[in-house]
Amino acid sequence: MFSRTSRLFATSALVALAASKAYALPVSQARSASTEKASSPQAKPNQGQAPSMLGATSPTDEKIEVSGHSYGDGVTGRALGGGLMVNQDSPKSVSAITRDYIAKQNPALNPMQLIALLPGANVSDTDPMGMTGGHISVRGMTESQMGFTLEGFPINDIGNFAVYPQEIVDAENLRTVRLAQGSADLDSPHISASGGVVDMYMIDPKKRMGGQVDMTYGSFNATRGFARFDTGYIGNTNLRAYFSYSQGRQDHWRGPGWENKKHGEMKVVNDWGDGNRVSLAVVGNSLQNSAYPSVSMASWQKWGLGFNNPLNGNGLAKGDPANTVYDRHYYKGDNNYYKLRPNPFNNIYASMPSTFKLTDHLTMTETPYFWYGYGNGGGAYNTDMTAFTYGKQTLPGNVNGVTGSNVLLYNPSLTETYRPGATTKFTLTTGVNRLMIGYWFEYSKQRQTAPYSFVSTDGTPLSQWGDSGNVVLSNGIKAQYRDTLTQTQVHTPFIGDSLSLLHGKLTIDAGLKYSIVKRQGTNYLPDVSSKYVRTNYNEALPTASVRYKIDQKNQVFVSVATNYRMPQNYALYDSGSYNQRSGLYSTLASVNQKPEISISEEAGWRYQGDVISTSLTYFHYNFTNRLYTQSLTDPISGAFYTTNINGGGMHSDGVDAEIGTRPIHNIRPYVSLEYLHAVTDSNLPAGSGSSADYLHTKGKKAPQAPDWQVGFGLDYDDGKRFANFNLKYVAPQYSTFINDQKIPGYVRMNIGVGYRFPKVSIFRSPTVRLNLQNLSNNHYLNWVNSVQPNAKATRGLFGHTIAAGSPTYTIASPFAAIATISSDF
């Protein structure tokens, strides 16, 4: 299926590119039609599209242009706040970063790390080079409640909606990242965006032959190289392309392990006529790394970073359950050995966002895409083989000739995804009215397994992919922790209308999309509650907005939008370990969950002057059917198990603000701020059977929702010398719904300095820069990895004792110095 789908996609891409080439204008005409503006210092949306909430997801919908001299890497020295702010016309809250900021940071940073200073972006990382990913919450909603797109296609995992930012795009090829804090556009291709969206756009190929190279070296033996070749215009056509490759490696800063990332990208573009464009973007990524362990509050308070005199290589006793790092050296039965925790993943994204001007008034935008991924997260367990179970089947004595009450098994969680889809829309502009009609379709197939396998005598897996030395039962079947196949069909028609009145001062939008999601799945584990699963979700999602331009510098807007997130696919299946006494798996299916629904309302004001620009937005959210994972105790066996429920409602109120300037004596400051008051509206269920109860969570602050966030950026650039300073403050945030545990607030500071040299041979803009991250080497917890109902035993609403849970956290990356030499050619 993979090869067949890949060939189909590649064939359609080549046909479209060839067609656009065949009908292209002469190069001289096409180039004059697409000449970039250089007279105005403004950064503004593409004037061919009226500002609206209808749709700006495709790269051809909105182009951010910042005029001024370019230093080869896209830096102009004119962008607001050093590239941390862009003037917006959208009738909702939107923030964005541009090349002026991106090009001066550590080039290995992933897109999440790059937007950490924007209003409301609560971003975490675990390593200086961004290779182990990270997390983000915006207005109290995590990345699995937000939609992420690259070049107009979705990159959230189709099953659990997770985002892996280290896989997405190299910073050198990233043109802009746009964060819409409140709601998705009508054409956003997501079934998980109950919060906002993050849209990422790649740079276009250069119009003349050239490219860019850079080399990076830094703390923890970090190395990285990047090279891009731009073809320029190919022959007597409008076709141009670039091809890039990067490779990076670093050692773990905490405990044993390393990361090795290989990444390739290409983009082909053909523009012709008045507004016609075909492009093809392909991204490939191969990552080999070891995981960092998350920690409990007790572990963090007792062991900190885990650096002490070595006993087992970490300074902790062998098998210490409070270990905050994985073991460097293996001892028999050690399931905490770092080589048992690999996290390999290979994926490829391909997208062909294209626009065709059918008539003077009618435009078609087409974005077909294909998404493939295969990888796992490793893990290991000690198992009593004399009582090994696979469903109700018990295998006493031995399996594959192996016996014992403490046998170490490797158990990676494997996922393979095939995901083709397309978004098609037509936009009809007649006078003051703009009508958009579109349709998003996607069909995905996701296979998820977790085979048990034996390990070698030195503790390493026989295969990191879990396909060697498997535990095979007497009937010839492999024993698995999970074994499912999920197929998801998405049908989403949408329609919107935008009316521009009073000579463009007043814009009124209204739209509706209707999301139809059909899932069917098969659980291949034995003795499950439901082997075949079929679900259907149908949601009508209306949106409306008004924007009024008081004058050329001031504008106000109000908007309301309905968004949703459907249940994650793992909620459909029983999985995990099987308890013979209770007849239950450790994770129980919850097939009848309803989608999580959000209604967001915003009112804002913007001032966009010649030197200073500001934005101020008040927002209010109402959530119903919050999706929540619940831990319960079986009253018969006493075994713990988890299931997924709708945990009731939540609401939030707050204010986002940002201000940035153009150069004032070569200095461009930027400030962002968010105040957030997020509250749980329901008492969460807890316990089970005769001990079923509710926790007193109504009126409590929502977890992962800091009250205050402040970002500050300061950029200096005189054309030769440049420097920047970034600071982010994040207030304390709760890790439980009952508010009995939290992580403290923290401040993180980064600084960068650089110098541009004159041309040397073929190198047009040699540049050196040094980025210092976490300048004060602040050691702190920066993310709640697993939210729990309560961290201390407490009494429920009906008087039952609710057992304590244990929230886990990630530890922020430490001080690191990263030096880079770069140039275009």
Q: Distance of alpha carbon 47 from its chain centroid, rounded?
A: 29
Neighbours of 632 (CB within 10 A): 21
Q: Is 223 exposed, middle or buried (0-12, 13-18, 19+ CB in 10 A)?
A: middle
Q: pLDDT-based confidence at 397, cuts 50/70/90?
A: low
Q: pLDDT-based confidence at 398, cuts 50/70/90?
A: low
Tokens representing residue 54 in the block? 């209808």
Say what the pLDDT of residue 599 is: 94
Q: What is the mean pLDDT of residues 794-815?
A: 91
Exposure letters 335-361 (e unless 16+ CB within 10 A, then b): bbbbbbbbbbbbbbbbbbbbbbbeeee
Assign residue 129 a region (left: φ > 0; alpha: ψ between -120 and 50; beta: otherwise): alpha
Determine contact, residues 704/741, Cβ cutoff 8 Å: no
Q: Residues 6 or more apart from 367 whose CB is under 8 A from it?
A: 57, 58, 151, 152, 153, 189, 351, 352, 353, 354, 422, 423, 424
Determine contact, residues 375/343, Cβ cutoff 8 Å: yes
Q: pLDDT-based confidence at 31, cuts 50/70/90?
A: very low
Among 83-87, 455-459, 614-618, which stretch is predicted with the lowest mean pLDDT? 455-459
Find the distance separating the first CA and the last CA of the chain, reported in whole Å.
41
Q: What is the mean pLDDT of the chain?
A: 87
| 570 DSSP 8-state letter | G
Closest alpha carbon to 740 in 794, 698, 802: 794
Res 783 pLDDT > 60: yes
Instruction: Report the relative pairing of strands 640-646 and 650-661 from DSSP bridges.
Output: unpaired
DSSP letters for 641-659: EEEEEE---EEEEEEEEEE
For residues 160 and 93, what is the distance between their CA atoms, to the nearest angstrom?
26
Coil, helix or strand for 786? strand
Per-residue 3-state assignment (H helix, E strand, C coil) for 702-714: CCCCCCEEEEEEE
Position of tokens 């098994």? 409
Tokens representing residue 430 in the block? 């007649």
Q: pLDDT-based confidence at 55, cuts 50/70/90?
A: low
Res 692 pLDDT > 90: no
Determine contact, residues 810/292, Cβ cutoff 8 Å: yes
pLDDT digits (tens, 9 = 90+) for 368-377: 999 999 999 8
474-478 contacts, C-beta under 8 A, 24 or more apart = 474/395, 477/390, 478/451, 478/452
Q: pLDDT-based confidence at 54, cuts 50/70/90?
A: low
Say what the pLDDT of residue 630 is: 77
Say what the pLDDT of residue 62 is: 56
Q: Residues 6 or more apart from 223 whose CB is under 8 A from it?
A: 216, 217, 248, 249, 250
Q: Measured between alpha carbons, how far is residue 500 from residues 43, 49, 109 in Å?
A: 22, 12, 40
Q: pLDDT-based confidence at 307, cuts 50/70/90?
A: low
pTM score = 0.90
Neighbours of 28 (CB within 10 A): 9
Q: What is the mean pLDDT of residues 215-225?
A: 97
Say what the pLDDT of residue 318 is: 52
When mean pLDDT is compared over 11-15, 20-24, 418-422, the highest value belongs to 418-422
DSSP letters for 337-390: BGGG-B--EEEEEEE--EEEE-SSSEEEEEEEEEEEEEEEE--EEEE-GGGEEE
Say what the pLDDT of residue 701 is: 95
Among 57-71, 116-130, 508-522, which stretch is predicted with the lowest mean pLDDT? 57-71
DSSP letters for 76-98: -S-SBTTTTB-----SS--EEE-
* The one-letter amino acid at 657: A
Closest alpha carbon to 336 in 349, 351, 319: 319
Determine contact, residues 158/26, Cβ cutoff 8 Å: no
The domain limits of the chain are 2-291+326-398+414-824
Res 535 pLDDT > 80: yes
For residues 825 and 818, what is the distance between their CA atoms, to the nearest angstrom?
23
Say what the pLDDT of residue 676 is: 97
Q: pLDDT-based confidence at 664, cuts 50/70/90?
A: very high
For residues 355 and 374, what is the distance between their CA atoms, to the nearest angstrom?
31
pLDDT digits (tens, 9 = 90+) for 519-534: 999 999 999 999 999 9
Tokens representing residue 519 in the block? 């899932």
For residues 629 and 777, what is the distance between their CA atoms, to the nearest angstrom?
35
| 689 DSSP 8-state letter | G
Say what the pLDDT of residue 340 is: 92
For residues 25 and 271, what is the distance between their CA atoms, to the nearest angstrom?
9
Tell me what percent of the residues of the chain surpass a pLDDT of 90.
66
Class of domain 2-291+326-398+414-824: mainly beta
Coil, helix or strand for 575? strand
For residues 122 and 146, what is the distance between their CA atoms, to the nearest angstrom?
13
Coil, helix or strand for 750? strand
Q: What is the mean pLDDT of residues 381-398?
A: 78
Res 311 pLDDT > 70: no
* The one-letter amino acid at 440: W
